[in-house]
Amino acid sequence: MSVDRKIAFEKSVSNHTYNKSLYDKRVNVLNFSVRDTVYIENGSKLNRNKLDPVRLGPFKITRKLSDLVFEVDVRTGNFRKRIYHVSKMIRTEL
């Protein structure tokens, strides 16, 4: 490996670690469990009408599929239970 490539690789690794530290400071980890009540985001800003609510709910979490994905009972439509990512859910404060 040439000297220039080594320097470029070292700089990219140092930039990656720096950006990771900034990202980790900003992101907070949300821990949900079964039977928690949550609000779900109502689509993106572009797909909502002017007076549509930003979040829907509260709904109960019925099953944990992974650390980041949960099955939520939305009680509407043909599919009563839907799968949501943690980034789309907000915990209700009781």
Could you count the other beta carbons within 10 Å of the beta carbon of residue 38?
21
Q: Do 20 and 65 sit in the same domain of this protein?
A: no
**Number of structural domains in the chain:** 2
Cα–Cα distance for residue pair 94/31, rounded to 1 Å: 16
3-class secondary-structure state, position 89:
strand
Q: Do 22 and 41 sit in the same domain of this protein?
A: no
| pTM summary value | 0.69
For residue range 62-85, list pLDDT tens digits in order.
999 998 899 999 988 888 999 999
Q: Which domain holds residue 9?
A: 1-28
Q: Do 12 and 50 sit in the same domain of this protein?
A: no
For residue range 40-57, list pLDDT tens digits in order.
998 888 888 888 899 998
Q: Do 41 and 87 sit in the same domain of this protein?
A: yes
Is residue 30 over pLDDT 90? Answer: no
Token code pair at residue 7:
């320097």
Q: Do 43 and 85 sit in the same domain of this protein?
A: yes
Cis peptide before 53 (omega within 30 of 0): no
Q: Do 50 and 84 sit in the same domain of this protein?
A: yes
Q: Do 83 and 59 sit in the same domain of this protein?
A: yes
Closest CA to 91 of 52, 59, 48, 54: 59
